[in-house]
């Protein structure tokens, strides 16, 4: 693999993902409407119910809308990661995934390109969300907007890699509904996205324990701190480690010799 | 393993659990040669294609493309092949030119060179004028031509086609077969054409017959007809399949 062929491949995969995204306006709108509904309705309703004390990275009391904004950015990344893996399962069933996998580049690199393409789209969505949220008084310092990029990138890579790993295990598109119920919702709700961890500990020690082992919590905290110009080292390390593990599992999953795809009917083309 | 062969499949076996899909299959495609792989549904053709394209890994045996072993020299082997899968793999939401640009990028063809090759490919495959049309809006025959243009964009030594005419009407099928044969003869690409539609092979074609995972016959249509003392390749095929089934 030469550098030029690697860059051309990356350009091809990212361009395709962007074109598909532009062509599917409904996907863009639904990806945006979901967190905005949470911000406009859920946060407004719970503003007076849920008090948020001064906890890092905040230096003063903040509105509940401001507290859940990083969680909603995490939600965009989470749903986008799952959307990408859904499209991988769809592409595999429809056949277009094979075009990618028979390209003369290492499989790990092809999967990385696919991952980066999905995350690029998610970052655009996240910034459109932040622009709208500005009018809802979610106004982090200017430096926060710049630091959000690497935080969103790393968080998006982790959630995208998790989606890739899941897509290598899912045999048929119909099974994907299970992922929604067993992965996305538990990950989102059992995290610090909607409530601070100390609040959760007050109500349930078990739930608190689950939240502290949920990688999504660390992605949200990484974003939260970056948004206020700070670095949460522990969150960054956990997210980086989880990204590596999920990506390695995805590469093994897509390996024709060792992976889930080599098993009977495991995403195989129709047998002849 | 020799570079004179576009494809060399040697003693390849594969099973799904306890079901043996391929049993010591051997097959060769010479440089610039046209080879038809015949087999009924379930014979193992698509499994063999998945192995040749590296989507599955052979449990036994070797596959090499232009002398490059698929297992040990994977990227060079893959760079020498173009594939048209049984089910359409082009992106229906993208235009013809966007699909071709995507393929060029995946193959690492530099931008300027890709532009020239795409223009030539559109002309060769009679797609000029359809560049900006979404693939989903094209006819079945035109979509197959887009797939073919994409598979040949990087000028492979080997072109694999897995039941490429499924879903096409008789006239489109016959046009597509003639188009592939003439084009690949011109550009010197070896072709492996898998099909269960026996009218797609003609007298001087090199034919392999795969049945229940075993390569049961090999020869030109004339040789096989003579050997089995029948009238045509359909009778040869039926006699083998019936004999194997009984």
B190 within some domain: yes
Domain limit, last residue, from B109, B139, B155: B155
Q: Distance of alpha carbon A98 from its chain centroid, rounded? A: 24
Nearest CB to A9; choose among B42, B47, B106: B106
Spatial CB neighbours of A237, under 8 Å, sequence gap ≥ 6: none
Kindly state whether B34 is in contact with chain A, defined as any CB-CB distance less than 8 angstroms. no
Cα nearest neighbour of B102 on chain A: A12
Q: For all residues of chain B together, what is the average pLDDT? A: 88
Cα nearest neighbour of B91 on chain A: A96
B193 within some domain: yes
Residues B245, B189: one domain? Answer: yes
Q: Distance of alpha carbon B127 from its chain centroid, rounded? A: 21
Residues B6, B68: one domain? Answer: yes
**Per-residue DSSP letter, B221:** H
Helix axes A3-23, B96-106, angle to 10 degrees: 150
Q: Which residues pair with B219 in a beta bridge?
A: B207
Alpha carbons A153 and A113: distance in angstroms, whole number? 13
Nearest CB to B108; choose among A4, A263, A271: A4
Alpha carbons B63 and B61: distance in angstroms, whole number? 7
Cα nearest neighbour of A271 on chain B: B46
User: CB B101 to CB A5 under 8 A?
Assistant: no
Residues B129, B169: one domain? Answer: no
Contact list in B for residue A15 (CB cut-off 8 A) is: 101-102, 105
Average pLDDT over residues B213-217: 91
B86 within some domain: no
Residues B130, B168: one domain? Answer: no
B124 within some domain: yes
Kindly state whether A25 is in contact with chain B, defined as any CB-CB distance less than 8 angstroms. no
Residues B163, B58: one domain? Answer: yes
The structural domain count of chain B equals 2
Cα nearest neighbour of A4 on chain B: B108
Average pLDDT over residues A51-67: 77
CATH code: domain of residue B193:
3.40.50.300
Contact list in B for residue A105 (CB cut-off 8 A) is: 75, 106, 108
B85 within some domain: no
Alpha carbons B157 and B161: distance in angstroms, whole number? 13
pLDDT at B1: 52
User: CB B88 to CB A99 under 8 A?
Assistant: no
Residues B24, B105: one domain? Answer: no
Q: Distance of alpha carbon B4 from its chain centroid, rounded? A: 18
**Per-residue DSSP letter, B133:** S
B72 within some domain: yes
Residues B17, B127: one domain? Answer: no
B240 within some domain: yes
The boundaries of the domain holding residue B111 are: 91-155
Residues B169, B225: one domain? Answer: yes
Q: What is the pLDDT of residues A149-185, one digit of tens each?
A: 999 999 999 999 998 888 887 766 666 677 767 888 8
In contact, A200 and A79? CB cutoff 8 Å: no
Q: What element of type H or E holds A90?
A: helix A64-94
Spatial CB neighbours of A54, under 8 Å, sequence gap ≥ 6: A60, A61
User: CB A98 to CB B85 under 8 A?
Assistant: yes
**Residues of chain B numbered 193-232 and touching chain A (CB < 8 Å):** 194
pLDDT at B22: 94
Q: What is the pLDDT of residues B89-121, one digit of tens each?
A: 888 889 999 999 999 999 999 999 999 999 998
Predicted confidence (pLDDT) at residue B36 exceeds the cutoff of 90: yes
Contact list in B for residue A96 (CB cut-off 8 A) is: 89-91
Q: What are the CA-CA distances from residue B65 to residues B83, B157, B198 (Å)?
A: 13, 8, 26
Average pLDDT over residues A69-83: 90
Structure tokens at B136: 């989903």
pLDDT at A168: 80
pLDDT at A213: 94
Cα nearest neighbour of A96 on chain B: B89
Contact list in B for residue A98 (CB cut-off 8 A) is: 53, 55, 83, 85, 89
Residues B168, B71: one domain? Answer: yes
Size of interface A-B (CB pairs under 8 A): 127
ipTM over 0.90: no
Contact list in B for residue A23 (CB cut-off 8 A) is: 93-94
B60 within some domain: yes
**Residues of chain B numbered 82-141 and touching chain A (CB < 8 Å):** 83, 85-91, 93-94, 98, 101-111
User: CB A98 to CB B53 under 8 A?
Assistant: yes
Contact list in A for residue B90 (CB cut-off 8 A) is: 96, 99
Residues B146, B24: one domain? Answer: no
Kindly state whether A96 is in contact with chain B, defined as any CB-CB distance less than 8 angstroms. yes
Q: What is the DSSP string of A92-140?
A: HHHSHHHHHHTSSS-HHHHHHHHHHHHHHHHHHHHHHHHHHHHTTT---
Predicted confidence (pLDDT) at residue A258 exceeds the cutoff of 60: no
Average pLDDT over residues A173-199: 81
- pLDDT confidence of A63, banded at 50, 70, 90? confident
pLDDT at A271: 35
Residues B75, B177: one domain? Answer: yes
Q: Which residues of B79-88 are buried (b: 16+ CB within 10 A; e: fewer)?
A: bbbbbbbbbb
Contact list in A for residue B104 (CB cut-off 8 A) is: 8, 12
- pLDDT confidence of A84, banded at 50, 70, 90? confident
What is the β-pairing status of strands B206-211 and B214-220?
antiparallel
Domain limit, last residue, from B155, B178, B197: B155
Contact list in A for residue B56 (CB cut-off 8 A) is: 256, 261-262, 268
Predicted confidence (pLDDT) at residue B25 exceeds the cutoff of 90: yes
In contact, A70 and A82? CB cutoff 8 Å: no
Cα nearest neighbour of B134 on chain A: A23
Domain limit, last residue, from B155, B180, B204: B155
What is the β-pairing status of strands B190-195 and B158-162?
parallel
Cα nearest neighbour of B101 on chain A: A12
Nearest CB to B108; choose among A9, A101, A269: A9
Cα nearest neighbour of A97 on chain B: B89
Residue A258 to chain B, least CA–CA distance (Å): 9
Predicted confidence (pLDDT) at residue A2 exceeds the cutoff of 60: yes
pLDDT at A261: 52
Kindly state whether A95 is in contact with chain B, defined as any CB-CB distance less than 8 angstroms. yes
Residues B56, B161: one domain? Answer: yes
Q: What is the pLDDT of residues B53-81, one digit of tens each?
A: 988 888 999 999 999 999 899 999 999 99
Instruction: Give the three-class secondary structure for B64.
Output: strand
Q: Distance of alpha carbon B157 from its chain centroid, rounded? A: 12
User: CB B86 to CB A269 under 8 A?
Assistant: yes
Q: What is the pLDDT of residues B134-164, one digit of tens each?
A: 998 998 888 988 999 999 999 999 999 988 8
Kindly state whether B54 is in contact with chain A, defined as any CB-CB distance less than 8 angstroms. yes
Residue B17 to chain A, least CA–CA distance (Å): 7
Q: What is the DSSP string of B13-60?
A: EEEETTEEEEEEEEEEEETT-EEEEE--TTSSHHHHHHHHTTSS--SE
């Amino acid at each position: 693999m030469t550098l030029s062929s690697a860059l051309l491949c990356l350009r091809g995969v990212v361009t395709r993902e962007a074109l598909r995204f532009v062509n599917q306006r409904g996907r863009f709108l639904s990806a945006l409407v979901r967190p905005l509904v949470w911000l406009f309705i859920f946060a407004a309703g719970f503003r007076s119910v849920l008090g948020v004390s001064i906890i890092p990275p905040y230096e003063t009391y903040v509105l509940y809308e401001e507290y859940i904004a990083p969680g909603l950015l995490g939600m965009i990344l989470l749903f986008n990661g799952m959307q990408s893996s859904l499209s991988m399962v769809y592409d595999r069933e429809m056949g277009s995934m094979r075009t990618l996998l028979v390209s003369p580049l290492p499989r790990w690199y092809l999967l990385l390109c696919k991952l980066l393409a999905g995350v690029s789209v998610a970052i655009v969505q996240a910034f459109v969300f932040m622009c709208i949220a500005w009018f809802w008084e979610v106004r982090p310092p200017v430096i926060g907007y710049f630091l959000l990029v690497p935080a969103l990138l790393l968080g998006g890579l982790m959630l995208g890699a998790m989606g890739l790993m899941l897509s290598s295990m899912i045999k048929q598109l119909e099974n994907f509904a299970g992922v929604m119920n067993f992965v996305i919702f538990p990950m989102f709700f059992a995290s610090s996205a909607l409530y601070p961890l100390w609040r959760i500990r007050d109500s349930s020690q078990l739930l608190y324990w689950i939240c502290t082992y949920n990688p999504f919590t660390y992605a949200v905290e990484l974003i939260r701190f970056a948004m206020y110009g700070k670095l949460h080292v522990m969150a960054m390390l956990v997210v980086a480690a989880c990204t590596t593990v999920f990506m390695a599992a995805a590469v093994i999953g897509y390996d024709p010799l060792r992976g889930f795809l080599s098993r009977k009917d495991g995403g195989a083309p129709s047998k002849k | 393993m020799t570079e004179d062969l576009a494809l060399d499949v040697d003693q390849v076996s594969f099973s799904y659990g306890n079901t043996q899909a391929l049993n010591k299959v051997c097959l060769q495609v010479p440089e610039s040669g046209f080879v038809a792989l015949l087999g009924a549904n379930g014979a193992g053709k698509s499994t063999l294609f998945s192995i040749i394209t590296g989507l599955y890994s052979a449990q036994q045996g070797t596959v090499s493309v232009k002398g490059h072993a698929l297992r040990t020299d994977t990227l060079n082997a893959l760079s020498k092949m173009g594939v048209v899968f049984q089910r359409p793999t082009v992106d229906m939401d993208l235009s013809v030119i966007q699909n071709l640009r995507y393929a060029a990028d995946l193959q690492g063809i530099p931008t300027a060179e890709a532009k020239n090759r795409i223009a030539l490919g559109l002309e060769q495959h009679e797609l000029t004028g359809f560049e900006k049309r979404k693939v989903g809006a094209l006819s079945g025959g035109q979509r197959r031509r887009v797939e073919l243009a994409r598979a040949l964009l990087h000028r492979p030594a080997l072109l694999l086609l897995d039941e490429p005419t499924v879903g096409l009407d008789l006239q489109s099928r016959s046009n597509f077969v003639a188009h592939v044969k003439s084009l690949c003869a011109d550009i010197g690409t070896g072709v492996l054409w898998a099909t269960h539609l026996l009218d797609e092979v003609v007298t001087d074609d090199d034919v392999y017959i795969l049945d229940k995972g075993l390569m049961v016959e090999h020869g030109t249509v004339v040789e096989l007809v003579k050997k089995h003392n029948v009238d045509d390749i359909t009778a040869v095929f039926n006699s083998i399949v019936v004999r194997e089934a009984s």
